[in-house]
Structures are given as structure tokens and as C-alpha cells.
Structure 1
């Protein structure tokens, strides 16, 4: 259980920061609050994907 929580937190933070940073550098039409909301949503979805769906796809327990 600790491994899943750690995997989720790391995936959430990494994906949220990278998504927001890439959008900030490539497309300046978004405000800072929009970038934060988009990054949090993307980080949450990718964190859930890496935690729950990726082990099912790769057959890891």
C-alpha cells in the first residue's frame, strides 16, 4: 500500500509540473491559475493511471 501511495504522489507531482511547464513555455495564452488547474488535473489523471491501470497492463502485482 505504501508503494502505491508513493507511486501516485511521485507520478502526480512529476506529471503536473512537466505538463504545466511545457504549456507555459509553448503556449502563453493561458493564465497562471489555468495552468495550475490543468496541471493538477493532468497530474491526478496520470497518477491514477500509473497507480491502478499500469500494473494491470503490464501484469505486475
Structure 2
């Protein structure tokens, strides 16, 4: 994934898919859990990339 915008789009797709799966099959369904794990990984990656790409704030010592 190249940009934060692309990542946000994929996060939204996975969220919708997970919600739909949970409504149809329940939260404990294997597919729902798999999507949840994939979403967690993508959210963690998004936060990591966001931190790296944002400017650092320097504090005075």
C-alpha cells in the first residue's frame, strides 16, 4: 500500500466487511475473526506509517 489515503480506504472496506459478516454470522464466526485480525494489522501499520511520515515535535531541554 502506497499512501495513507489508500490505507484508509482499505481500512473502511475491511470495517464494512467485518460488520456485515458479524451481522450475518455473529462476532465469533471464523470469517469475522479473520477479518478482525487483518483489520488490526492494517490499523497498526497505518499508525506506524503515520508516525514516521509526520514531522517530529522537538522539545526544549
Length-normalised TM-score, structure 1: 0.44
Higher relative contact order (CA 8 A, sep 6+): 1
**Which of the pair has more CA radius of gyration?**
2
Q: TM-score scaled to structure 2, two decimals?
A: 0.44
Bigger share in helix: 1
